[in-house]
Structure 1
Amino acid sequence: MSSSEIGRPALGRPGPGEDGRKAILDAAARAFARKGYFATSIDAIADELGATKGRVYHYYRGKAEIFLDVVVTGMRDLIAAVEPISARQDAGPGERMYQMAHLHASMMMLRNHAQRVSVQAIEMRSVAEIAIHQDVLADVFALRRRYEQIFIDVVEEGVRLGDFAATDSGLVVKSALGALNWIPIWYAPDRTPLDVEKVADTFARFIVNGLKGS
């Protein structure tokens, strides 16, 4: 998948520019994270945006499309950010894994609302208005598998080089990403008195030390 494919919108109508779409997705992420999917209406998203719902409908046909676009855009942003780190030739697997986990943890906090919505998506896939978008749901799970594979490849390289202890790479990556993906559930920028750098460093060190068997 090219970088342009990573950045393209998953759903929605053609619009005059991506800035308008991004503003809607940011507003929707805040509304969904605060109220949940069912309690969030197009009116609520428009209120969060500070615009009329006509502006929202200019880009999207309905709430389900906006919700899924938040999820897919969030996944593509993670891949676009982490993939270059995984491909670095000037750093070993341990350093790359630290940077990848650190960046992931940071994005869970700095883009807290969007990532909370991504966590919701796993539970929402059976909801009728979400489930009808099978092609997009397939993309979501394909992106998740691709993201996991980026981490798996680094773990397996580290095992081959002796930097990491022998392990089930798929299982350990699911465990690591599970811990990282839970951050937006308990971390709230306005309520959690924790420094982003400290949290990201703690999680990244914990993951790398675990892979080294220390």
Structure 2
Amino acid sequence: MAAGTRTRARAGSAERDGAPHGADENRAEVLRAAAIAFMAHGYAATSIDTVADALGATKGRVYYYYRSKTDLFFDIHRQAMTMNLSVMRPLASSARPPRDRLVAMARAHATLVMDHLPTQRVLNQGVELHLSGRTTAPQRDVLDELMAMRSQFERLYVDVLAEGVASGDFRVLDPRLGAKSVLGALNWMTVWYSPRPDESPETRDRIADELATFVLHAVQAAL
């Protein structure tokens, strides 16, 4: 085989395996496929083979970016938390009254779950993995980092609830417990929500509005 032909063959193989051309998008495709696999099978039952099947590629394409399913799982968790924080921080820190901020946060939270269901479900699996203790010391270090991100996210709700209590808008004995209740209701969407093939944006808006209203009614003071 001529040198030029060998080079083209290697380049074609590299592109099919996700490198180097379009590396970011190829990595994102691997993460999306892995999130779908974890959502369908759970962490324990998912393997690199499972991810490759969901991706419609060979294991080599997955291994090019990730050495293990645990690395994949952690990266999905990290990217999802980064996305969630980037959406929620501006809403929590706005100059609007606590009541309006809480509604906006709950609505955005519900929308994140509906728009990114596989990755949001992986977040909940990450909590289960953390609580189970079935991890190595290095894995626990990474999980501790990811749980710290979750704590930052939860703190946004705690602070808004505390401000609402101080202003008389909310009736919550302990904003920390109140935040856990709110997050429990919103995160439970990852269990019961399943998009229909004909689901419209208007339907998703209605679901988000209903949940935001439920959250507000759960914490607001009697008029």
TM-score, length-scaled by structure 2? 0.82
> 1:37 matched to which residue of 2?
43
Q: Summarize the Cα distance change of 1:208–1:192 in structure 2 as closer, same or farther, 3 Å threshold.
A: farther
Q: AA paired with 2:219?
A: L
Q: CA deviation at 1:191?
A: 7.7
TM-superposed deviation, 1:60: 0.6
Q: Which structure 2 residues correspond to residues 182-197 of structure 1 after superposition, within 5 A?
A: 182-190=188-196, 195-197=203-205
Kept after mapping to 1: 8 A contact 2:120/2:190: yes
SS of 1:189 mapped into structure 2: coil
Given residue 82 of structure 2, which amino acid in structure 1 is its aligned partner? Answer: R
- C-alpha separation between the residues in 1 aligned to 2:136 and 2:48? 15
Number of corresponding residues = 199
1:142 equivalent in structure 2: 148
**Does 2:160 match 1:160?**
no
Letter of the 2:209 counterpart? D
Kindly report which structure 2 residues correspond to 1:120-135, keeping only aligned pairs within 5 A, or say none.
120-125=125-130, 126=132, 128-129=134-135, 132-135=138-141
| Larger fraction in helix | 2
- Measured after TM superposition, the shift of residue 20 of structure 1 is 2.1
For CA contacts below 8 A with separation 6 or more, give which structure has more relative contact order: 1
- Asked whether the equivalents of residues 169 and 221 of structure 2 are also in contact (C-alpha less than 8 Å), the reply is no
CA–CA separation in structure 1 for the residues paired with 2:144 and 2:198:
34
Give the drift of 1:30: 0.4
Structure having the higher Rg: 2
CA contact (8 A) 2:110 2:211 kept: yes
Q: Is this contact kept in 2: 1:124–1:130, CA < 8 A?
A: no
Residue 175 of structure 1, aligned match among 177, 181, 186: 181
Which range moves more in the overlay, 65-74 or 182-191?
182-191
Partner amino acid, structure 2, of 1:207: V
Structure 2 SS opposite 1:106:
helix
Which of 110, 116, 121 is the aligned partner of 2:115? 110
| TM-score, reference length from structure 1 | 0.85
Q: Does structure 2 retain, via aligned residues, the 8 Å contact 1:131–1:137? A: no
| Cα distance between partner residues in 2 of 1:20 and 1:33 | 20
Consecutive unaligned residues in structure 1, runs of 5 or more: 1-14
Q: In the alignment, what sits opposite 1:48? A: 54
Give the letter for the 2:216 counterpart: V
State the distance in 1 between where 2:217 and 2:103 align.
9
Instruction: Report SS of the residue matched to 1:184.
Output: helix
Q: Quote the sequence identity (%).
A: 40
Q: Where does residue 72 of structure 2 map in the other structure?
A: 66
Match of 2:98 in 1: 93
Instruction: In structure 2, give the amino acid aligned to 1:145.
Output: S
Distance 1:189 1:131 in 2: 38
Give the drift of 1:65: 0.9
